[in-house]
Structure formats: structure tokens, C-alpha cells
Amino acid sequence: MTINYHVPVMLREVIDFLDPKPGAVYVDATLGTGGHTEIILKRGGRVIGIDVDQEVLNIAKERLARFGERITYIHTNFSKLNQVLDGLKLETVKGIIYDLGTNLVQLENPERGFSLYRDGPLDMRMDRSLPITCQDLVNNLPEDRLREIIRNYGEERWAKRIARKIVKERKSKPIETTLQLAHIVEETVFWKGCHKKKGDIHLATKTFQALRIVVNDELDSLKDSLKGVITYLEPGGRIIVLSFHSLEDRIAKHTFLEWAKSDPPLVKILTKKPLVPTEVEIKGNPRARSAKLRVAERIPLREK
């Protein structure tokens, strides 16, 4: 079977900032199918590759098998990054990258329930051992909670109408598939006069994003992970966060600022404004269009 590997976003920028060195250790907190990591390994670096999705991790293992023991695969949520590094007895690493969100393998497999275009069970769990699926949320949450989720995590202006329509529809028939939900949202938003132009994003994109964030507890995982990780970065080492919506980007921005303003400062921020992909990259890979990249560099603690 041919697998379409995820196309790594802003690869050149990520590698320029990480500047991988032979023998140095890097953490890829979102290994995916290993696009960024492959280059680190090719440059002779070592990688701790984490992914919460076992299926994705298996694909990465096959793809990167030729690098042997220079990569360690860990199936866990990156919110447990501290424990992972302690468990491996690693005091510091040279670089850390988070490339947030879902990858192509998850999006293209309708069975995973992330797709707006291919029908499948409304699942959306990146970690299949999680107890609650998207289907559970849309069929059981009260209308006001659904509205709150769609508004807060999707930044969707039609949240109120969408939540009302979901609750109305589920009374006659449970919402069980991705296309069922996508159509419900599309009808609601379209009816409000929001006309779709060629090349526009799908009208249910924001609703899907919101529900996915809740199913996978994405924002708290990122906050928890960033909270303790900076002390594991060696002086001169760099941390990179590549985000795909403003909620994630805000968490990265505020965390970096907190570190930079602490006394003594822990990092120097290398990207005053987030970097974005070039037009050429977006043309070749439209999924990159919303990417924002932030980088901070660890500064040595002052001697007392």
C-alpha cells in the first residue's frame, strides 16, 4: 500500500533554526510521519520522537528504520514530555519542535473521523484509547456547551445557529458520520448567506477544529507540555512551535514572553513576529497556509 506521507511545513525554516549537529539530541514532540525528523537524522542528529497516535508512529518507524537507534519512538501525549526525558535520563537536549495539529495520514483515512470530505465514523481521537469521541460530544452535550465550544475553539461566528441545528437534527437521527455533521454545518452557515467561493475553506472547518480540540484536549496538552520543558533545553538550544490556528499560536507566544521576561530571563525570542510560509510553499502545499512559526533560544543562567 502506498502511504502519502505528511508534507512537512516550513521545513527549510525549521531546519535552519534547529541547525542539527551530529550526535546532538533533539525532541520531535509531534513526530507524525517524520518529515522534519528525517532531515535531523540525515544531518547526523539523534531524535526522541513522540506521537500520541500509535498508527502514525508505526508508519514513522517503518519510514525511518534506516536510522536505527539514532531515533527513539515514544507513544505518549507530549504533555508528559518531562517524564519522558526524565525516564530517558536526559538532562538537556539541543532542540525541541512542536508541529501541531493533525497529519495527512490521519486526515486521509476516513475511519479516523477527521475528514470533511470523506465519510467515516465521527471519531477524531488522535489517541484511540481516549474515552470520548466527537460523536459522543455532538450527540450528548447540551446546546449551550456546544455553542461555547464552537465559538471558543473554532472562533466561528455562527456558533449559536450551528449548535441549535445540531441539537435539532440529533433529535430525529443521531449524528454518526463526518459528512452528516459537515452537511448540517454547511446548510446552517450557507443559509446565513455566507457564500462559498472556489478555493475557500470548507464551511464546517471551524466547527470540526473546535470539536477536535476538545476531543483531544489540545490546548491544555500544549500548555502543560510547554510549562516544564524549557529547563530541558541546553543553553543555545532552540524551541520551535509551528501552529495552525490563533489559539495555539497565542499559547506559544505567551509562554515564550513569560520565559523571556522572567528574572533571570530563560530565553531570547528569535521571532518577534511569527514567520509564515512563502507563497511558493502555500501554492505547493495549501495545508501550510495558516502556519505560524515561533522560535526561542535558551540563554545560560547567570552565575551567582
Count Cβ atoms below 10 Å from residue 132 Cβ, excluding itself.
14
In sequence order, the 6+-apart residues with CB closer than 8 A to the CB of 290 are 244, 245
Per-residue CA distances from 196 to 210, 244, 289 (Å): 20, 22, 18
- Closest approach, Cβ 173 to ligand SAM, in A, equals 31
- Closest approach, Cβ 52 to ligand SAM, in A, equals 4
Closer by beta carbon to ligand SAM, 8 or else 277: 8
33 binds ligand SAM (CB under 6 A): yes
Closer by beta carbon to ligand SAM, 51 or else 169: 51
Element (H, E) at 296: strand 292-298
Start-to-end CA span in the chain (Å): 59
Q: Of the candidates 47, 50, 122, 184, which one interacts with ligand SAM according to CB under 6 A?
A: 50
Are the C-beta atoms of 113 and 134 separated by less than 8 Å?
Answer: yes
Element (H, E) at 168: helix 159-172
User: What's the sign of the alpha-carbon dihedral 135, 8, 252, 205?
Assistant: negative
**15 vs 159: CA distance, rounded Å:** 39
Q: Of the candidates 99, 156, 248, 249, which one interacts with ligand SAM according to CB under 6 A?
A: 99
- Residues 113-152 binding ligand SAM (CB under 6 A) are 126
**57 vs 129: CA distance, rounded Å:** 15
51 binds ligand SAM (CB under 6 A): yes
- Residues 55-94 binding ligand SAM (CB under 6 A) are 56, 77-78
**Contact pattern for ligand SAM over residues 206 through 235, marking x by CB under 6 A:** ---------------x--------------
| 264 upstream amide cis, omega within 30 of 0 | yes
Q: Of the candidates 10, 27, 35, 49, which one interacts with ligand SAM according to CB under 6 A?
A: 35
- Residues 8-27 binding ligand SAM (CB under 6 A) are 8
245 binds ligand SAM (CB under 6 A): no
Closer by beta carbon to ligand SAM, 32 or else 95: 32
251 binds ligand SAM (CB under 6 A): no
Q: How many residues bind ligand SAM (CB under 6 A)?
A: 21
**Grid coordinates given for 8:** 512537512
**28 vs 24: CA distance, rounded Å:** 13
Q: Which chain residues interact with ligand SAM by CB under 6 A?
A: 6, 8, 30, 32-36, 50-53, 56, 77-78, 99, 101-103, 126, 221
